[in-house]
Every structure is written in structure tokens, then in C-alpha cells.
Structure 1
Amino acid sequence: MEKGRRDEIRLWTDRQILGGLELLQARFLDFRYPLHSHDVFVIAAFRDGAQKHRIARHHGVAYPGSVMVIPPGEVHTGESAERNGGWEYSALYPAPEALEALSGELSRAPRGRLDFGRRLLIDAPDLAAGLIDACDVAHRSPDPVARAEAVYRALDAIIQRHGQRTGGGAFRPPPNARLRPALDHIRAHYADPLRLSDIAGQVGLSEFYFMRTFKAQMNVTVHGYLTQVRLEAAKALLVAGTPAAEAAIATGFYDQSHFTGSFRRYFGVTPSRYATACR
């Protein structure tokens, strides 16, 4: 694990699992996640301590034995619930299409996309233990079959018990159609030196009104969203073996120092540590 002042973080992608699955093992005392979101599910299990979080507009505390499921696109933060208390947890970040493939045998509700309802926290010590064990195996084992089986077992147990196809899992509705051209423009041109006027112009709004509309729809600032898009693109390059300096330039960061600082602020580890841990 990478050690900060009092934090220990291991974040990596295993290309042998689900076509490329990101995993995390962490023990946090000082680190605080900034407001951010993912295009994938976050499925986390808590081992020790207490984590205070905000997911969309919902606030709560996660304790050992609980499982947290955050739908794709839902903004969230996380930090220690108690001063000097910290928390320890493991997490998987499966893509929606990967979970769809795993849940192909789910027959309770055959229509609609897989979701986990509106419960953010599930009190399920057995599921939490299974997920924590899967992350341990995924880290320790040199055998890709053993790693994949451990992760599949943990995800299957969660899907079978709490998966559903109601289409009511996400708290945040999709952004309205008017905002879509701006999102598409950011995703198509994140590597360019974008200006706010260029992005706002995609939807015919003034910069000020666009900023307000974007924050209301996405629960994150325009700059925050752009940074996340750039960081996720940089992750993919790092997993593929691209040096950190080249990944920084290719994804629109001013320089490697800016890239490293942003990467560590959002993920708790440096780009080089992340790249080295991937397999």
C-alpha cells in the first residue's frame, strides 16, 4: 500500500477480471475524498472504524459489516466519522455492462437494467466479509483464475441477494437532453485546452447560467467534471503502460506535477504507484 501521513492505500486494475476491474484496499485516517463520481458501480465493504459520507444529498455513516453500493454517476464524498478514528474498507468498481453479464441468470425481474434499489448501506456482515476476502485474494494471489473466481463469488452473492431490475436504483435522474451536447463536448475534447465559453456555447447558454445549470443537474462543478473525465482517461492510459508524463499531456493536464497532484487528491495514490500496482 502507498502510505501517506497516516493512510495506507492500495488501488489497482486487474485486466484479468471482467475485462479490467479496478479494486481498492485502504485504511484512512487523514484522507478525505473530494466530491466526485464514477461511470461504474462502487461496491464497498467496511472492515473497521467508521466512515462519514455524502452520496447525492444523502448523509450517513458506514460501520464494519456494512456494504455500500453507489450507482454510476452518483456524486459522493467520504471521510473519517471520528477525529483520529479512521476507517478501513475494500471496494470493487465494476462497469454496469460487466454486472449485467454476471446477472444474466437473474430471473426475478427479467426487464430493465440491473440496480440495487435505493438503499445506500446494507447491513450484511457475511456479504461484507466475502467482498473483503475477494479483494485480499485479488491482491495476494498470482493465479488469475483464483483472483477472478474470488471476485465473481463476491459479486454474485450481492447480486443474488440485492440485485433487481426495477430501474429505480439511481438517486439522480439523467441530465436533461439540453445538457447532453456539453457533456459530449467535454468527453470528446477533454485533452484540449477547453474554455468555459466553448462548453457553454454547445448548449447556447451564458457562462454564468451554464455553470449554475450544470451544478444543479450534475451535483458537481464543470471543472470538477472535466477533471474527473481527464483522470479516468489517464487511468486507462496508465493501465495500458503509458508513462505518467505522457498520460498527463495526453489527457489535458498542464504538466506532470498538476496531474500527479490531481490524481493523488482524487484517489489517494500517485499515478506511478497506481500503474505499478496494475496487472
Structure 2
Amino acid sequence: MEIMIPNRLSTLGHPQRLAVFRLLMRRYPDRVPATELAQALALKPNTLSTYVNALMQSGLVSQERVGTSLRYAIKMDAARETIDYLLHDCCRGRPEICAPNSHSSSTGGSSMTARKFNVLFICTGNSARSIFAESILRDLAGDRFVAFSAGTKPRSELNPFALDVLKQKGHDVAVLRAKNISEFQGPDAPHLDFVFTVCDQAANEECPAWQGQTISAHWGLSDPVKVEGTDAEKSLAFHQTYGALRNRMVGFAALPLTSLDRISLQKAVDDIGQSKPEG
């Protein structure tokens, strides 16, 4: 293992290889298509291939072929192994110098305290999927969660099909508006306990790391806005997306947040994001 560490560090020392690694870390445990990686990072296919091959040779990334598509994912055991080696080697006998700034449960051993939890849902336009998620969680478990949503490039108006679905389901749409993610990143922003991306494009974008002990996960779903056809076909796509998000929200709201340690809680929200939409 120690022989591999210098090779891994050297591989990650290249800015664009590091960018690939970081994007795959944000998308973990997803397997991301090569075409999506190349588009997100503005890389030519052959250039991306060179970078991921180096990451694979160092043991940090795995590859899987699905039909004609190559997909890549982080090998989390190797990533943890590398980070653990650095911490144990550099901080041997002096763990206090390597402790994170927040001294509350960085090891994952403790659970969250009982209170209302702030949850942010992010997509690109903040006009449909993230708005669905915000509305569903607010009405499903508003006594335990404060739900927000935002977009990395929010549209000026909410999608009319999304609003129709929310009205049909009995949600109050008067409280909804498209918001930029920057509203949740300043010094006056609410502390966020959970951050979920609900579209791949938002998850692929480079955003500042969330401060504190925020737990994040990717709950990507296909964009119903892109469905073409009749109004009935478009409406069906929005209803299906709503249903998929509601199922995930029911699972999330049922988690025993105050009794799970942080590692178990992170795995639980990752597993929810891997659940397949019905239908």
C-alpha cells in the first residue's frame, strides 16, 4: 500500500487529473459516463482518456463498460487509504495538529443532536426538481426539517408544469421562488445540515465546500423539462419525477437521524440516491 501512495499523490498533483478526481468524488457512488465527464470539464475525449487512465493505474478510479459507454467511479477504499496514510504518517503521536477546525465528530463516531435540520436541494434551474423536493419535504416533515432549494443557474420563473403538479398535490406554491445558490453561501446564510443535488449537471459543477458538518449526497433524476411531446406526455414526466422524489423524501424522513453515526447516515443518504425511480 505504501508503495502506491507516492504514485497516487503524484497523479493527483496534476490540476486536471485532480479535477476529474474531485468531480467523481462529488458524484460518488455514481458511475459517470466519459462523455459527461468530458463535457463537464471541457476536455477533449482523448485528453480525458489520458487523465482517467492515469487515475486508474494509481488505483483511485475504476472503469465499467455499459453498452458502448465507458463509465468511471471513485474507488473509495483507495481514496480513504491514501488520506488515512497521510494523516497517520504526518500526525503520528500528535493527532491534535491534524484535527479539523470543527472538533465535533469528524471521525463519524457521534450522531446528530435532536433539533430541526436545514436541508438544501440544488439543481441547475431551480424550476422543477429542486422545487418539488423542497415542497415535498416541507409538507411531509416540516416539524423536523426546514427545506430550501436553489439553482446554480436559476431560471427567472418556475416551470408551469411543475407548478401544476404541486397544486394538484395540494402544496402551497405561493412560498416558492427560483433562488441562486449564492443565497446559501454567505456569512448570513443558514447553517445547512444536509445538501442534496437532484440533477447531474449541478453535481458536476465546481462549488465551494460547505462549511461545518454538512452531509451531502447526489440524488440525480432525469430532467422532466427536457421531455418532448404533447402536453399530456410532458405532464406525465413531471408527475413521475414528483413521485420519485416523494419516495426518496419518505425514506429520508424515516431515517433515525439522532441515533445514526455520521458514517452510517452518509451511507443511508447515498443509498437513497441510488434507488431507482419506479415505472
TM-score exceeds 0.5: no
Higher strand share: 1
Q: TM-score, normalised by structure 1?
A: 0.26
Q: TM-score, normalised by structure 2?
A: 0.26
Higher helix share: 2
